[in-house]
């Protein structure tokens, strides 16, 4: 096996160098202006490697990573769709990348126009009055949206409204964001089909309710058909509806959260609008609000003036700043390119295709995998592990075995409603051939589980790193070059 086929991190050889520094042109020791007590006492303990060692090490490491460009990535709730390369090309245009956030407004009119246009597009898609693009991620959007909710109640002298109702199937960031925003989380139960139990919701709706956080389709991929009734109940109790837009993909261009009664929402640009994520790139979590909440959006904002020019403004009633400057501009450019390249007509095909793909996989596999909720799902669905539990093969085992066959694992053990959750989201960009290959492999793994369970239990067998000792990894993480060296001693 060649050095780079193994996961070897210790390549250092004393005296080896990967750089040559120019001579100090001022002929000083170069250190005289640094205060003595800040000078390093010992030579830095850095790897001594040649440039070629470094290039090979990182290039080989990068090829060991799994990405949506290398294979099928059905990670439920994450919407790992293909990220078209034109998005990258446009976001790398030097006329945008060379801008500085402190440049004067009149020298960045193009960038502001793009920001404003994207705000408008998202408002149209969502059926809401206005968007801010400032938050950096979905969870950051949740926090921002909940701060808007809080600010709204405070502005009305309704300080005691602090209760946020969250379904027990919700993504973990929902209750976490509510806590960070200084609100109190109250759980509402889900019915066996995964949708909110309206009868359980009713008694929770009193004058301390700030709002409810939901996603539709819900975390099990099922559309909340009682959404209009829920919206009426919450509004009548004086609360607001927050929409976790991480699951917007199946509704894109077809159904608008604003029309379902939602007052506030965030969108994960890095999911629905095809920008790399999951370690592959920064995110963006724009927040949209209905008309009565616009004043509370964070500062700064981009506005269009009467003469057609654009300005950056701050409003007094705003909840304040939640990010430096205007957010992750590169991500916005990619999302903008994606929306423009799909156009108004094609964007409406995203949801139905994602939905078709998810239902095709679900129906093709339900003879081998336990489907706890029957019926048409939206863009994703959940199996409760293998149907045949007698073999002792778990969801974790199946997930690891998929790696041997070149597929990324689905999301596992989420949602928490089932013991062996396996959440599969194929996205609209996958072909029928890819779906068929995945279905075949899932059947093969189920057959192996019946006939030779030990193979599945000991997977992965072909990956560069075998099954990890996750407990030790969590308890004794080796996160830096230095701790790796210390551990080796
Ligand atoms: C349903 C749901 N809500 C919220 C989030 C949080 O988004 P982010 O990871 O961008 O913070 C996710 C992310 O996976 C999600 O799936």
153 CB contacts (<8 Å, ≥6 apart)? 159, 161, 210
Count of C-beta atoms within a 10 Å radius of residue 477 = 9
Residue 284: burial class (beta carbons within 10 Å; 0-12, 13-18, 19+)? buried
Nearest to 300 by CA among 310, 291, 290: 310
How much distance in Å is there from the Cα of 243 to the middle of ligand 1? 12
Could you state, in order of their start, the residue ranges of all structural domains in the chain? 1-64, 85-341, 349-473
Which strands make up the sheet holding 411-412, listed edge to edge?
Answer: 381-384, 421-424, 411-412
Query: Which residue's C-alpha comes closest to atom 9 of ligand 1?
Result: 138
Nearest to 284 by CA among 136, 70, 415: 136
Shortest-distance atom of ligand 1 to CA 78: 14
190 backbone dihedrals φ, ψ, rounded to 5°: -105, 150
CB-based contacts of 200-208 (< 8 A; 24+ apart in sequence): 201/165, 201/230, 201/233, 202/233, 204/163, 204/165, 205/165, 205/233, 205/234, 205/236, 205/237, 205/239, 206/163, 206/237, 207/160, 207/161, 207/237, 207/238, 208/160, 208/161, 208/162, 208/163
Q: Are strands 381-384 and 421-424 parallel, antiparallel or unpaired?
A: antiparallel
pLDDT of residue 30: 59
The answer to whether the CB of 246 is under 6 A from ligand 1 is yes
Alpha carbons 171 and 247: distance in angstroms, whole number: 11
- Two structure tokens written together for 295: 């004043």
Name residues of the chain where pLDDT drops below 50: none
Q: Are strands 287-289 and 264-267 parallel, antiparallel or unpaired?
A: antiparallel
Average pLDDT, the chain: 93
Alpha carbons 331 and 140: distance in angstroms, whole number: 15
Query: Which residue's C-alpha comes closest to atom 7 of ligand 1?
Result: 138
Shortest-distance atom of ligand 1 to CA 142: 4
How much distance in Å is there from the Cα of 260 to the middle of ligand 1? 21
pLDDT of residue 5: 58
Write the DSSP assignment of 50-103 as a string of letters.
-HHHHHHHHHHHHHTS--TTTS---BTTS------HHHHHHHT-HHHHT--TTS
| Coarse DSSP helix, strand, coil percentages of the chain, rounded to the nearest 5 percent | 40, 10, 45
How does DSSP classify residue 213? E
The answer to whether the CB of 139 is under 6 A from ligand 1 is yes
Fold of the 85-341 domain = 3.40.640
Q: Are 241 and 212 in contact (CB under 8 A)?
A: yes
Query: Which residue's C-alpha comes closest to atom 2 of ligand 1?
Result: 246
Helix (H) or strand (E) holding 248: none
The answer to whether the CB of 77 is under 6 A from ligand 1 is yes
221: left (phi over 0), alpha (psi -120 to 50) or beta: left
- Out of 76, 77, 221, 224, mutate this one to test ligand 1's pocket (max ligand atoms within 8 Å of CB): namely 77
375: left (phi over 0), alpha (psi -120 to 50) or beta: left
Q: Are 422 and 385 in contact (CB under 8 A)?
A: yes
Write the DSSP assignment of 428-456 as a string of letters.
TT--HHHHHHHHHHHHHHHHHHHH-HHHH
Instruction: Give yes or no for a cis peptide into 52 (omega within 30° of 0).
Output: no
Alpha carbons 188 and 167: distance in angstroms, whole number: 5
Query: Which residue's C-alpha comes closest to atom 8 of ligand 1?
Result: 138
pLDDT of residue 480: 75
CATH class of 349-473: alpha beta
Alpha carbons 112 and 417: distance in angstroms, whole number: 44
Nearest to 383 by CA among 252, 241, 221: 221
Shortest-distance atom of ligand 1 to CA 270: 10
Residue pointed to by tokens 């009868």: 199
Stated pTM of the model: 0.90
How much distance in Å is there from the Cα of 352 to the middle of ligand 1? 22
**Chain CA centroid to CA 32, Å:** 48
Alpha carbons 168 and 413: distance in angstroms, whole number: 14
Helix or strand or coil: residue 291? helix
pLDDT of residue 280: 57
CA distances from 51 to 10, 108, 198, 206 (A): 15, 39, 63, 65
């Amino acid at each position: 096996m060649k050095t780079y086929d193994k996961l070897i991190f210790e390549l250092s050889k004393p005296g080896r160098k990967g750089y040559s520094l120019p001579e100090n042109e001022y002929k000083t020791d170069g250190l005289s202006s640094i205060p003595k007590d800040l000078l390093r006492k010992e030579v830095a303990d850095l790897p001594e490697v040649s440039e070629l060692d470094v290039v090979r090490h990182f290039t080989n490491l990068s090829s060991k990573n799994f990405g949506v460009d290398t294979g099928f990535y059905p990670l439920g709730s994450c919407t790992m769709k293909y990220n078209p390369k034109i998005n990258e090309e446009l976001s790398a245009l030097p006329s945008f990348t060379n801008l500085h956030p402190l440049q004067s407004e009149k020298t960045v009119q193009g960038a502001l126009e793009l920001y404003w246009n994207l705000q408008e597009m998202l408002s149209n898609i969502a059926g809401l009055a206005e968007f801010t693009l400032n938050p950096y991620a979905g969870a950051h959007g949740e926090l921002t949206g909940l701060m808007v909710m809080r600010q709204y109640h405070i502005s009305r002298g309704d300080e005691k409204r602090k209760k946020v109702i969250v379904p027990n199937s919700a993504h973990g960031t929902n209750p976490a964001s509510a806590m960070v925003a200084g609100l109190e989380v109250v759980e509402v139960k889900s019915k066996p089909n995964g949708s909110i139990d309206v009868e359980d919701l009713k008694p929770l709706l009193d004058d301390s309710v700030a709002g409810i956080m939901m996603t539709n389709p819900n975390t099990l991929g099922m559309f909340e058909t009682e959404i209009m009734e829920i919206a009426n109940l919450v509004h009548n109790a004086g609360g607001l509806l927050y929409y976790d837009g991480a699951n917007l993909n199946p509704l894109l261009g077809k159904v608008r959260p604003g029309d379902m009664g939602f007052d506030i929402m965030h969108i994960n640009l890095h999911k629905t609008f095809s920008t790399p994520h999951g370690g592959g790139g920064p995110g963006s979590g724009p927040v949209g609000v209905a008309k009565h909440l616009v004043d509370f959006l964070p500062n700064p904002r981009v506005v269009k003036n009467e003469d057609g020019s654009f300005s950056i403004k701050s409003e007094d009633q705003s909840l304040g700043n939640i990010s430096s400057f205007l957010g992750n501009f590169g991500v916005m450019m990619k999302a903008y390119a994606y929306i423009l390249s799909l156009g108004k007509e094609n964007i409406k095909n995203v949801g139905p295709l994602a939905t078709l793909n998810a239902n095709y996989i679900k129906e093709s596999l339900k003879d081998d995998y336990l489907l706890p909720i029957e019926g048409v799902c939206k863009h994703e669905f959940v199996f409760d592990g293998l149907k045949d539990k007698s073999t002792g093969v778990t969801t974790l085992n199946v997930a690891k075995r998929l790696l041997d066959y070149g597929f990324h694992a689905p999301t596992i053990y989420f949602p928490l409603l089932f013991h062996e959750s396996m959440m599969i989201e194929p996205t609209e960009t996958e072909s029928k051939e890819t779906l068929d290959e995945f279905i075949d492999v899932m059947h093969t793994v189920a057959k192996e589980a019946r006939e030779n369970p030990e193979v599945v239990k000991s997977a992965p067998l072909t990956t560069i790193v075998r099954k990890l000792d996750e407990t030790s990894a969590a308890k004794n993480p080796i996160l830096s070059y230095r701790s790796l060296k210390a551990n080796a001693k």
